[in-house]
Amino acid sequence: MKRRVILLTGISGAGKTTTMGVLEDMGYHCIDQFPISLLKDLQTLIVKGTDPRFDNVVISMSLQDFDSYFSTFRGLDIDLRVVFLEATHDELLKRYKSTRRNHPLLISNKVTTLEEALTYEEESLSRLKDTSFTGIDTTFLKGSELKSRLNKMFSLDSKPTFSISFVSFGYKNGVPLDADLLFDVRFLPNPFWDENLREYTGEELIIKDFVMKHEETKLFIKKLKSFLDYAFKEYVKEGKNHFTVGIGCTGGKHRSVVLVDEFYEIYKLKYHCFKEHRDLQ
C-alpha cells in the first residue's frame, strides 16, 4: 500500500494547530514547519525509507512555503493529499483579537497591520487553490465537528479513493465556503409558510412528504442527479479525494435538509458518502 502524505496549509488562524492535533490522534506522524532546505532528505525518508512512522505523514506549512513542499512531493509514488484551511475574514479577525496572538507576517515584518496580513494570505490562497485539493472552512466548525470531518476524510481504517459530503445550510447564515458545488433550492415550495408545518424539520416525514410531492422537486432531483453522475465520474478521473456538495434554502431547516437526505441515499451505495445538516441544531 502506498504511503500517505498530507500537506496541510491555509490562512493563519484557520486551525492548522488544532487540525494537526486531531490527525496525530488518528495515527498520523505530524511534522510542523519542516525546513525547506531539508525537504529532499524528508522525501527520501518517505519514499525509500522503511521507518513505519512515515507510512502516514502530515506536514504543515505556511501558504508562502507551500509551493516548495508541493513541488517536492508531487509526482511521487505516494498517496498525496493537499488540505487548505480557511475561515471568513471577520472570523479570523475575531480569533486574533480574542487570543491576542500576533500574525506570523507581522512578526516577520512583511506587513504592518493584521488586516493587511489576512488580506495577503487570502489572496495567496485564492491563487493556490486547485480542484483536486481539499478545502475545509472552519468558520462555523466546533472542535468536535472538525474532528468528525477529518475522521471521515482521512481515517486510516479505510482509505476511500473518493468520498462525498452532502451539506444542508441556510443562506441567511452564510454559505459553506469549503463546498465544491452550491445549489440553491429556495425556488421550491416552502413549508415554513404553513403554520402547521413550520415547527417541524426536514428530517421528519411530514416535511419530507410536503417537499417531495411537488413536481418542481422531482424535476430538480432528476436534473441534478444527471449532472452529479457526470461530475463525480470526472472528479474521480482527475484524482480528487473528497467532494462537498452544499444544498441551501432560506433557513437550512426544511427543503435543503430533505434534499441532502435524498441525495445521500442516492449515492451512498456507489460512493463513500456523508451528510451534515449545518443549521439544523
CA 121/CA 11 separation, integer angstroms: 6
In sequence order, what are the beta bridge partners of 169? 248
- pTM listed for this prediction: 0.65
Q: Which domains does the chain have, with CATH numbers?
A: 4-154 (3.40.50.300), 163-277 (no CATH)
Q: Which residues are within 8 A (CB) of 43 and not within 5 positions of it... i.e. 6 or more apart?
A: 72, 73, 76
Please tell me the predicted confidence (pLDDT) of residue 254.
Answer: 96
Q: Are strands 29-32 and 134-137 parallel, antiparallel or unpaired?
A: unpaired
- Residue 77 three-state SS: coil
CA 163/CA 129 separation, integer angstroms: 19
2-33 residue pLDDT tens: 899 999 999 999 999 999 999 998 889 999 98
57-76 residue pLDDT tens: 999 999 999 999 999 999 99
Give the model's confidence band at 158: pLDDT under 50 very low, under 70 low, under 90 confident, else very high. Answer: low
